Structure 1
Amino acid sequence: MRAILVVNPKATTTTGRSRDVLVRALRSEVDLTVEYTRRRGHAVALARTAAREGVDVVVTLGGDGTVNEVVNGLMTADPAGPGAARTPADRLPALATVPGGSTNVFARAVGLPSQWPEAAGVILEGLRLRRFRTIGLGLADDRYFTFCAGFGLDAAVINRVERARRKGRVSTPGLYLRSLMNEYFLATDRRHPAISLERPGETAIPELGTVVIQNTAPWTYLGDREINPNPNASFDLGLDVMALRRMRVPGTVRAVTQILSRRSYPHGKQVLRLHDMPEFTLVSQHPEAFQLDGDYLGERNKVRFTSVTAALRVIC
Structure 2
Amino acid sequence: MSPYEAELAVAGKERAADGVVSLVLRPPLGGRLPAWEPGAHVDLLLGPGLERQFSLCGDPGDRTGWRIAVLREPGGRGGSAFVHERLGVGDSVRVRGPRNRFRLEPAPRYRFVAGGIGITPILPMLAAAEAAGAEWSLLYGGRTRRSMAFTAELARYGGRRVTVAPQDETGLLDLGPVLDEVPDGTLVYCCGPGPLLDAVEERCPAGVLRTERFRPKPRPDGAGGADGEFEVVLRRSGRSLTVASGVSVLDTVRAAGVEVLYSCAEGTCGTCETDVLEGDPDHRDSVLSARERAAGETMLICVSRCRGARLVLDL
**Is TM (by shorter chain) over 0.5?**
no
Flag the structure with higher helix content: 1
Higher relative contact order (CA 8 A, sep 6+): 1
Query: Normalising to structure 1: TM-score of the pair?
Result: 0.29
Q: Tell me the TM-score normalised to structure 2 length.
A: 0.29
